[in-house]
Amino acid sequence: MKMSAARESIGFIGVGFMGQGMAANLVAKGFPLTVMGHRNRKPVEELVAAGAVEARTPADLARRSSIIFLCVTGSAQVEEVLKGENGIVAGARPGTVVVDCSTSDPTVTVRLAAELEEAGLHLADAPLGGTPAQAALGQLSAMIGASPEVFARIRPACEAWAQKIVHLGPVGDGHKMKLINNFLSMGYAAIYAEALTLGQKIGITPQTFDSVIRGSRMDCGFYQTFMQYVLERDRDAHKFTLVNALKDVRYLEGVANAAGVANPIGNAVKNSYATAVASGRGGDYVPMISDWIAGLNGVSLAGKG
C-alpha cells in the first residue's frame, strides 16, 4: 500500500462537466495524468494540450496509473469500466486504487470493493458536492468511503480538486451520504418548483418570491444557482441533468427499501423527476424542472411576471 504521494500516477475516466475541471486541477498541480474520454473530444484535447496523456481503453489507462478516478454516470458504468473487456481490472497492477467519484448504488460499491480486493486492487468511493464551475476552481467537496490506508494515499490527489474532504468511514459510506445529500438537493428543487408555480398562479412572481427568500434563513447556495436559471434563464447555472437526478433518487429509494425505511417524501420527489423524464425532458438541467411543473399547471415562470 505504501507509495509516495508525489510519485502517484493518476488516471481519469470521465472528463465531462465535473471531470474536466477535476482533471485540469490535477495536471496544474503536477500530477502525471492519463485521461480517457467518451463522446466529447474537446475536454480530452484540452487536457492533452495541458500535459495529460490519452489512453484508448481503461486497461491501457490502468497500466499507466496507480490511482484511477472515475467520474461516470452510475454503478452500471462503473462496473463496465472496471470489469468489461479491456477494463481496468485487466490492466491494473496490484495495489492500484480506483476512486469512484460517481453517484453510485452503495450496495454495488461494497460488492465491487470486495471483488477488487480479491484481485489485489482497492476501491474508494468519493462522490462530489458542487458544480462544474467549482470543479474548475478546485473548490468541490468530497465524501469519501475508504480504509484509513487507502484514504491516506488518495487524499493528496483529491486535494488537487476538492476544497472540503470528509472521510466518512469504510467503502460505501461516501455513496450512502451522497444519496442523502442529493435527496435534499433534488427535494429542494422539486419544492422550489412547486412553490414558484403556486406563487405565479396566485400573483406572486418569481422576482417577488426571490426578494423575500434571498438573504433569509431559507437561502442557500443551491437556491441561488436554481434561481439563477429561473430569473436569468441561465441554462448553465447548474449543469446536472434531470435523468441523472432521477437515477440518484431511484438509488435512494432502493437503499430505503433495503433498510426497511418508509420514505414517502423521497417517493414524491422521485415522481416529480420521473414524470419530467418520461415526458422527454431528461436532458434538461435540474433548475429547469421549474418550467416542467409550471407548465403542468398552465403558467410560465419566464419573463418579468
Q: Is the CB of residue 19 less than 8 Å from the CB of residue 130?
A: no
Cα separation, 214 vs 217, in Å, equals 8
> Is 3's pLDDT higher than 60?
no
**Fold of the CATH domain 5-171:** Rossmann fold (3.40.50)
> Is 278's pLDDT higher than 70?
yes
pLDDT digits (tens, 9 = 90+) for 175-229: 999 999 999 999 999 999 999 999 999 999 999 999 999 999 999 999 999 999 9
Across the range 68-76, mean pLDDT stands at: 95
Distances (CA, A) of 40 to 14, 44, 169: 10, 8, 35
Across the range 169-174, mean pLDDT stands at: 98
Strands 128-129 and 122-125: unpaired
> Is 2's pLDDT higher than 70?
no
Same fold, 5-171 and 176-296: no
pLDDT digits (tens, 9 = 90+) for 221-274: 999 999 999 999 999 999 999 999 999 999 999 999 999 999 999 999 999 999
Q: What is the DSSP letter of 241?
A: B
Cell numbers of 195, please? 412553490
Residue 60's H or E segment, with its range, is helix 58-63
Q: Is the CB of residue 34 less than 8 Å from the CB of residue 10?
A: yes
Q: Which long-range contacts (CB under 8 A, 24 or more apart) does 147-151 make?
A: 147/122, 147/171, 149/1, 150/1, 150/97, 150/122, 150/124, 151/124
Q: Is the CB of residue 231 less than 8 Å from the CB of residue 292?
A: no
Yes or no: is domain 176-296 CATH 1.10.1040.10? yes
Q: How many CB atoms lie within 10 A of CB 157?
A: 25
pLDDT of residue 169: 97
Mean residue pLDDT of the chain comes to 95
Q: Where are the domains of the chain?
A: 5-171, 176-296
Q: Is the CB of residue 152 less than 8 Å from the CB of residue 130?
A: no
Cα separation, 225 vs 237, in Å, equals 5
Q: How many CB atoms lie within 10 A of CB 206?
A: 23
pLDDT of residue 7: 67
pLDDT digits (tens, 9 = 90+) for 8-19: 999 999 999 899
Rounded to the nearest 5 degrees, what angle is found at the Cα of 86, between the Cα atoms of 2 and 33?
45
